C-alpha cells in the first residue's frame, strides 16, 4: 500500500472500491462549485449522484464547516469513517459508510433528496469533464493542462 496517501485518501479508496460493487462510478476531490471540494462523488446507473465525505478523525470532522454546502449537489449524502471513529458525532439524517483502505460497507443509507434537473445536468457535466481530464492526463502526462482547467476550477 502506498505510504504517500493520507488517512482520508485511504478511506476514499475503500469507498470507491465498494461503490463499484453497487454499479456506481466515482471520482475523488471533485469541485462542484468554487469553495467546495467533495472527497468522493459517485454517479449511479440511473443517474443518481451521491457525495461521500471521508473523515479520518474527530478533529477532521469537527473542523469541517462546509459539509452542509454539499447537500445541494447530491441526491444522497454520506460520511465515510473507519471502525474507530466515534459515529455518535455524525448528524442524524445523513448516510454512513464504515471504510478502510480496501473496502467499505453502507451502514446507514442517506435520505434521498432528488436534485433539480438543471442542477443534475450541471453536476453530471462537471463529473464527465473531470473524469475525461483525468483520463487525458494519464494518457498524456507531459501535456500541460488546459488554462483554467484543474482540480480547483474544473470548468
pLDDT reported for residue 146: 63
25, with CB counted inside 10 A (0-12, 13-18, 19+), is: middle
Give average pLDDT by consecutive 10-residue segment, the chain, 155 residues: 79 97 97 95 97 96 93 98 96 96 96 97 96 91 65 44
DSSP-based three-state secondary structure for 51: strand
Q: Where are the alpha helices (DSSP H) in 23-104?
A: 58-62, 67-70
DSSP-based three-state secondary structure for 104: strand
Q: Taking the domains of the chain in order of start, what are their residue ranges?
A: 7-139
Measured CA distances, 19 to 6, 131, 154 (Å):
20, 16, 23
Fold classification of 7-139 (topology level): Trna Endonuclease; Chain: A, domain 1 (3.40.1350)
Count the residues in the chain. Answer: 155
**Grid cell for residue 126:** 462537471
CB 24 within 8 A of CB 12: no
pLDDT reported for residue 153: 45
Amino acid at each position: 500500500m502506498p505510504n504517500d496517501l493520507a488517512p482520508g485518501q485511504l478511506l476514499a479508496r475503500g469507498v470507491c472500491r465498494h461503490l463499484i460493487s453497487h454499479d456506481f462510478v466515482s471520482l475523488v476531490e471533485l469541485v462542484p462549485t468554487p469553495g467546495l471540494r467533495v472527497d468522493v462523488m459517485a454517479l449511479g446507473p440511473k443517474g443518481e449522484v451521491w457525495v461521500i465525505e471521508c473523515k479520518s478523525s474527530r478533529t477532521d470532522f469537527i473542523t469541517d464547516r462546509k459539509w452542509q454546502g454539499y447537500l445541494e449537489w447530491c441526491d444522497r449524502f454520506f460520511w465515510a469513517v473507519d471502525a474507530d471513529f466515534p459515529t455518535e458525532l455524525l448528524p442524524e439524517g445523513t448516510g454512513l459508510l464504515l471504510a478502510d483502505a480496501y473496502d467499505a460497507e453502507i451502514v446507514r443509507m442517506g435520505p434521498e433528496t432528488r436534485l433539480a434537473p438543471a442542477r443534475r445536468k450541471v453536476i453530471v457535466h462537471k463529473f464527465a469533464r473531470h473524469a475525461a481530464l483525468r483520463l487525458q492526463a494519464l494518457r498524456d502526462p507531459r501535456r500541460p493542462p488546459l488554462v483554467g482547467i484543474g482540480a480547483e476550477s474544473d470548468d
